[in-house]
Amino acid sequence: MNKYNLRDVSSKKEDVSNALKDKIDKGLYPSAFCKVVPDLLGEDKDYCNIMHSDGAGTKSSLAYIYYKETGDLSVFKNIAMDSLVMNIDDMICTGLTGNFLVSNTIDRNSTFIGGEVIKSLIHGFQEIIDRFNENGIKMILTGGETADVGDTVRTLIVNSTFTARMKKKDVITNENIKHGLVIIGLSSYGSSKFEEEYNSGIGSNGLTSARHDLFNKTYFSKYPESFNPDTSKNLIYSGKFSLQDTTPDMPINIGKACLSPTRSYIYIIKAVLEEFKDKISGMVHCTGGGQTKSIKFGNNVHYVKNNLFPIPPIFKLIKESSGSSFYEMYQVFNMGHRFEIYTDYKTAEKIIEISKLFGVDAQIIGEIKDSTGNKVSIYSPEGIIEYK
């Protein structure tokens, strides 16, 4: 068993998948990235509804430690961003690019998480939503719930729920992912035109691994509330770095790099769909499962990823510090791109141009071939890795 599983987390969530095997209702379009259901809200046969929930995960625990060490409350605004984007960028895979109703849930242990943190989170949610609206992405914050649940939450959990309607004819169902298409990857790291500072590309997946593999035992003794006490001691804060240590490869410290807010691709996808919607066969948000996420979509397709981005500094650092194999790294982290678009070669070139206008690097990272059963092949620095 790898370190990730030993820390009581899983990139594949096998138990969840097994629990859903007998589930009959997969919605109107079973292959879509998000579940699509009939239009209960408007009762219009030409429309459908999508509702989605996700959050920042264990990244909030790292934000708590960083705040305690530095007094920097801005990290919680980033956690609000993570919670929002993990929903937004799942939903844009279906073709949705606005008119979202949003609510949030903040579960805290009030012994450690004070009112100043809650204020920063709530103001952060509103500020980020206001910014989306100012830039043409319509959404309304409808309220939320803040609960003191110290019996079950050690520090802080931040989640959001999104609801939207769209026309059925506009849904991207992922049913047309097939042989002959190319795979466009949108970079997860760097400095885009809609972000305030350098983004390491970490997103909101694999943070349990990143936190414990990078940072040192100082935090074990200072913040026992920040980890599962049932985890083996040698797997807790087993790295060599402090939060404010720096590396020549990144313009921000390692703690801030791990807390880089999850980048949203909604501005890019909105522009792409306005011009090329009929050319898009599918889209996948490479979150849980990292570069293997795509294996869940399409039928009898082989995702050949043979031209990936250079591995960003944060993932190199995690690999060196953890000793993890490339097999595990690509299954846990996005490793350089967090969004994929499947289309023809000619359209791909134009989509890449659009992405670069927003300051987000993009490239053809592979192609789709026929297969017996779905599989993913990663051309890694140590050779080809296959996942089935």
The pLDDT value given to residue 10: 55
Expressed as residue numbers, the domain containing 304 is: 3-387
Contact 286, 337 (CB under 8 A): yes
Contact 340, 185 (CB under 8 A): yes
State percent of the chain over pLDDT 70: 94
Instruction: Tell me the mean pLDDT in the region 350-358.
Output: 98
Q: How many helices (H) and strands (E) does the chain have?
A: 12, 12
Using the predicted structure, report yes or no on whether residue 4 has a pLDDT greater than 70. Answer: no
The pLDDT value given to residue 14: 60
Question: What are the strands of the beta sheet with 282-285, ordered from one edge?
Answer: 282-285, 337-343, 182-187, 362-370, 301-305, 375-380, 383-387
Question: What are the strands of the beta sheet with 47-55, ordered from one edge?
Answer: 37-38, 47-55, 156-167, 100-108, 139-148
- Reference 210, options 37, 58, 20; nearest CA is 58
The pLDDT value given to residue 20: 55
Total number of domains constituting the chain: 1
Place of tokens 């359209």: 347
The pLDDT value given to residue 63: 98
β-bridge mates for residue 54, sequence order: 160
The pLDDT value given to residue 19: 56
Q: What are phi and psi of 59, to 5 degrees?
A: -60, -30
pLDDT band with cut points at 50, 70 and 90 for residue 21:
low
pLDDT band with cut points at 50, 70 and 90 for residue 378:
very high
- Reference 312, options 292, 335, 286; nearest CA is 335
Using the predicted structure, report yes or no on whether residue 9 has a pLDDT greater than 70. Answer: no
Buried b (16+ CB within 10 A) or exposed e, 114-124: eeebbebbbeb
Contact 125, 162 (CB under 8 A): no
- Written as six digits, the tokens of 47 are 């429309």
The pLDDT value given to residue 384: 98
Instruction: Tell me the mean pLDDT in the region 336-357.
Output: 98
Quickly count: other Cβ atoms within 10 Å of residue 136's Cβ: 12
- Written as six digits, the tokens of 148 are 């003191």
pLDDT band with cut points at 50, 70 and 90 for residue 324:
very high
As a whole number of angstroms, the distance between CA 303 and CA 182 comes to 9
The pLDDT value given to residue 300: 97
Instruction: Tell me the mean pLDDT in the region 53-73.
Output: 98
The pLDDT value given to residue 22: 63
Quickly count: other Cβ atoms within 10 Å of residue 246's Cβ: 14
Buried b (16+ CB within 10 A) or exposed e, 96-113: bbbebebbbbbbbbeebb
The pLDDT value given to residue 68: 98
Q: What 3-state DSSP class applies to 319?
A: helix
Using the predicted structure, report yes or no on whether residue 197 has a pLDDT greater than 70. Answer: yes
- Reference 265, options 18, 90, 22, 112; nearest CA is 90
The pLDDT value given to residue 157: 98
Q: What is the pLDDT of residues 265-299, one digit of tens each?
A: 999 999 999 999 999 999 999 999 999 999 999 99
Identify the DSSP state of 215: B
The pLDDT value given to residue 25: 86
- Written as six digits, the tokens of 127 are 């500020």
Q: What is the pLDDT of residues 203-258, one digit of tens each?
A: 999 999 999 999 999 999 999 999 999 999 999 999 999 999 999 999 999 999 99
Contact 102, 129 (CB under 8 A): yes
Q: Which CATH number covers residue 266?
A: 3.90.650.10
Q: What is the pLDDT of residues 70-82, one digit of tens each?
A: 999 999 999 999 9
**What average pLDDT does the chain have?**
95
The pLDDT value given to residue 333: 98
Using the predicted structure, report yes or no on whether residue 11 has a pLDDT greater than 80. Answer: no
Q: Residue 219 belongs to what H/E stretch?
A: helix 218-222
Type of residue at 118: I
pLDDT band with cut points at 50, 70 and 90 for residue 6:
confident
Distances (CA, A) of 200 to 87, 206, 240, 251, 257: 20, 13, 19, 9, 5
As a whole number of angstroms, the distance between CA 377 and CA 385 comes to 6
- Reference 52, options 28, 34, 31; nearest CA is 34
